[in-house]
A = this chain, B = another copy of it.
Amino acid sequence: MPNHARLRRFLADMTSLVGGARQDQDEAAVIEVGGQLLAALVAHDDWLPEAMAGGASEGYLQHLLYCDPHERFSLVSFVWGPGALTPVHDHTVWGLIGMLRGAEVDQRYELDPASGQLCPGPTTTLTAGDVAALSPTLGDIHQVRNAFTDRTSISVHVYGGNIGSLARHRFDLATSTARTFISGYSNATMPNIWDRSRDGESAG
């Protein structure tokens, strides 16, 4: 039985955070405090429901774990099959990436306002427990791949909106052109984490 209490605690704290008067107008505060909350969540790998941790034999899956009813934030598990690689893409909202299992390589890009060209920025390898941030002000364009070609990796992402339903962009590096896309979600059902009467039960 996964430790649903950790996930409930994270969702309660994130809800308080996005509902705060200061945070409503202060992206830096959301990223700072939200990053601490996400770091606490990915510090343990005992809470992700199994249905949200699998299914990516190749490519990647984006499972919705929770969406705030005002769509102020959403939480997804990103399951990376061996060697999986995203297109270069943006998000249009702030985002936090917490590495739960395995590792991923995060290659940033910057759009040069003068030339309109996409230029490579820093590359970071995230390992279990690490947290990274993006946002339209900090830099919002990247390409991500599983650091492993022989196993699944899993990261947990929080975004400042209903990420699967937002119109955002994929970029063609050769031409620096953008194409609008909406990612959707991989899962039609979500785990019921609210049944505290089952918390003590063993799996199976």
Interface residues of A in 171-185 (CB under 8 A from B): 182-185
User: Which B residues are in CB contact (< 8 Å) with A198?
Assistant: 184
Q: What separation, in Å, do the CA atoms of A66 and B67 have in the docked complex?
A: 11
- Determine if A113 is an interface residue (Cβ-Cβ < 8 Å): no
Question: Residues 51-73 of chain A: 1 if any B CB is under 8 Å from the residue's CB, otherwise 0?
Answer: 10000000000001011111100
B197 touches A188 (CB 8 A): no
Q: Are B194 and A164 in contact (CB under 8 A)?
A: yes
Q: Are B189 and A185 in contact, with the CB atoms below 8 A?
A: no
12 residue pairs of the A-B complex, CB under 8 angstroms, read: A8-B69, A16-B70, A51-B189, A64-B192, A64-B195, A68-B69, A162-B194, A164-B196, A164-B197, A165-B196, A185-B194, A190-B190
Chain A 103-138, CB within 8 Å of chain B: the 1/0 string?
000000000000000000000000000000000000
Nearest CB to that of A185 among chain B residues?
A: B195
Q: Which residue of B lies closest to A66 (CB)?
A: B69
Q: Nearest-CB distance from A97 to chain B (Å)?
A: 20
Q: Mark A1-27, 1 if CB is under 8 A from B, else 0.
A: 000000010011011100100000000
Q: List chain B residues, Cβ under 8 A from A192.
A: 64, 185, 187-190
- Which one of A15, A182, A187, A194 has the highest number of Cβ atoms from chain B below 10 Å of its Cβ? A194
A187 to chain B, nearest CB (A): 6
User: A47: shortest Cβ distance to chain B, in Å?
Assistant: 15
